[in-house]
Each structure stands twice: as structure tokens, then as C-alpha cells.
Amino acid sequence: MLMVGGLHSPCQVNFARFLLSLLLFSAFQSSAGLHLLVVFIISYKQNYKYLLKIQTTVFDIYWKFFDIVTKHCLIDVILLLIHNYSTMAYNDKHRQFLQYFMHERIVSESDARKINDILFPEKKVDDIVQLINTKICPLEFKINKVVCEQNGKVTYVFIATFLDNFNAKPDPSKMMFGKIVNHIVTSGGSVTYDEIITSVKNLSDTQLYNYFTSKYLIADKDKNIFLSPLAISELEGYLTEKFEDKRCMGCLSIVGHGIKCSSCEKFAHGHCLTAYFKNVGSKKCPKCSNTLNVSWDSITTVNKL
């Protein structure tokens, strides 16, 4: 593994590029060469799973995986693998759609439909996403369709499914992000800048800013900080294990930002509860039937403070 302390030297990067070039050439020549390329990439990724303890931040797990020849180069490699293994009606338009998701990582339903209407005017977005997922799931990536807790809008997120419990191994940087996640969830789903800086020891403004630029954190106009749909989806396993008691009474997923019944102490997403009230015609708790004198308003968020 050509890596020490999470940093690549110019020599190491050049060697990695040379090695990958050879593998790419072989992949074009034969199925055996393609197999070697798959083994090389998966081996590199697996080593990163072992080396997570030396990464500086959790979101680096995703981008540092692409660091061997730069993010865009390895994106091309993934698309090459998908092209060679494709047995269904998968073409360059699907690859363009995938590149868009890989670059943005969080895509609103309206934006996804706009791109889909250009590339696949006679197809539904979900059908295209499903086909793309059949190609990228073996590489441990996935496009998830989720609902944003803050505004109830459908959102697509591009996640890495090979991410393990980031608190499984003792590491200061991962423990720091774990504290951020835990503090936000246990604080009702949102915290202020001052609260998060105070509660997470040694958290710098630069580190906090990086979580926003990587789209793991979002904020509203009053600078209240939330976990993004991307963070919740990518850390679903950890959140489920850590906050099993915070499952939504409606959709059964974990509630980061939502509403709690004061009687039975069960949780629900604001958008789930609003839909339930509308369907049953009353504001009673789905669990205990206690009257809930609460209202939920959509929150506009951005990935910056």
C-alpha cells in the first residue's frame, strides 16, 4: 500500500498512475485484464477501510478513496468497469447521469427530473436510478432516494455503502465527527454554531467548514446546523444502532430532526406527521392517540454557514 499517514508523495502518485495506466490498457485488451483492474481497485478500497483510523475527517473516507489518481480519473475507471460489465440497456447517457450524481452527491427531485427529461424523455427517474444502481452496487456505491427532514422534499443522494461504523475504531477525527452527529441528534436535530464549537472539543472552523462543503452538514438562514440527507443516509447503520429509540412512527427510519410526543415519547418526522394528520383528519399521536398541539413548517437549508 503506497501510503504513509494518509499522504501521497509525488513519486507514489506517479507510480500509481503508471500502474493504473497499465491496468487500463490490459482491461481494454482482455477480460483477464479487466478482472485484474477490478481486483486492484477493490484491494485499494479495502485497504482504505483498514486505514480509516488515520484519516483526518470522516468525509475524507469518500474522497481519499479517489485520491490515487484524482477523483475524476477514478470516476472514469468506475464508468469503464460499468461499461464492460453491462449486460442491460446501459449507455453513455446513463454514465452522464451517474457522473452528475457523483459530482453533486445531493440532488433535488426537481433537478434530477430536469436532467432525466433531457437524457431520457420517455423514462422515469426512478427507473433510471434503479438501473444505475444495478451497475454501481457491486462497487459498493448507491444512489438513494430519501426525504429531507427539514423540508419534506424528495432528494437523491450518492452514497458509499462500504463505510463502516465510523466509531468502531478509536480515532480522534472520527470520534470528533461522532460527537457532532450525536450532539445534533440528541439536541432535537439542530444546534447553533456556538453550541457545536463548545460541545466538540478541538473542532476548528476549518474542519466545520469542510463538513459543509462535503455536504454532510447543512444550515438554515438563522445558522442552525442540521445533518444533511447525505449524512443521514450514509450513516444509516450507525444511527440505527445508536438511536434505535428514535425511529419515526410513520416511515420507521431514524429521526434526526422531528417531533416528539410528550405522552408516549415516540418520534416522528414533521413531514410524516403532517401527512398522517391530513389522512386521519385529526392531530392525534399515531402511537398513543394523545392530542399533539404541534405544527411543522418547512425549513430552507444550504450547505454553508
- Alpha carbons within 13 angstroms on the beta-carbon side of residue 233 total 24
Domain layout of the chain by residue ranges? 92-160, 172-302
Looking at per-residue pLDDT, the higher value among 266 and 40 belongs to 266
- Residues, the chain: 305
Q: Residue 139 is placed in which grid cell?
A: 462497487
Among 305, 105, 88, 114, smallest CA distance to 212 is for 305
Q: What pLDDT is stored for residue 294 in this prediction?
A: 83
- The predicted model gives 268-276 an average pLDDT of 94
- Cβ atoms of residues 3 and 12 within 8 Å: yes
Looking at the chain, the whole-number percentage of residues with pLDDT higher than 70 is 68
Would 92-160 and 172-302 be classified into the same CATH topology? no
Q: Residue 60 is placed in which grid cell?
A: 475524507
Q: What are the b/e assignments for 249-264, b being 16+ CB within 10 Å?
A: bbeebbbbbbbebeee
Displacement of CA 197 from its chain's centroid (Å):
23
| CA-based radius of gyration for the chain | 21
Provide the pLDDT confidence category of residue 229 given band limits of 50, 70 and 90: very high
Looking at per-residue pLDDT, the higher value among 155 and 46 belongs to 155
Q: What pLDDT is stored for residue 257 in this prediction?
A: 93
Among 39, 138, 141, 127, smallest CA distance to 90 is for 127
For every residue of 184-196, DSSP letters joined together read HHHTTS-B-HHHH
Write down the number of H helices and E strands in the chain: 13, 7
Per the prediction, the chain carries an average pLDDT of 78
Please give the class, per CATH, of domain 92-160.
alpha beta
Q: What pLDDT is stored for residue 79 in this prediction?
A: 59
Q: Residue 267 is inside which H or E element, if any? A: strand 267-268
pLDDT at 61 over 80: no
Looking at per-residue pLDDT, the higher value among 157 and 202 belongs to 157
Q: What does DSSP assign to residue 156?
A: E
Measured between alpha carbons, how far is 262 from 293 in angstroms, rounded to an integer?
Answer: 10
Partner residues linked to 144 by β-bridges: 157
Of the CATH numbers 1.10.540, 1.25.40, 2.60.40, 1.10.10, which one belongs to the domain with range 172-302?
Answer: 1.10.10
User: What residue spans of 30-171 are helical by DSSP H?
Assistant: 31-50, 60-65, 71-85, 92-104, 109-119, 125-136
Mind listing the pLDDT tens digit for each residue in 134-191? 999 998 899 999 999 999 999 999 998 876 555 455 567 777 888 899 999 999 999 9
Measured between alpha carbons, how far is 12 from 48 in angstroms, rounded to an integer?
Answer: 16
Provide the pLDDT confidence category of residue 304 given band limits of 50, 70 and 90: confident
Mind listing the pLDDT tens digit for each residue in 91-104? 999 999 999 999 99
HEC readout, 196-230? HHHHCCCCCHHHHHHHHHCCCEEECCCCCEEECHH
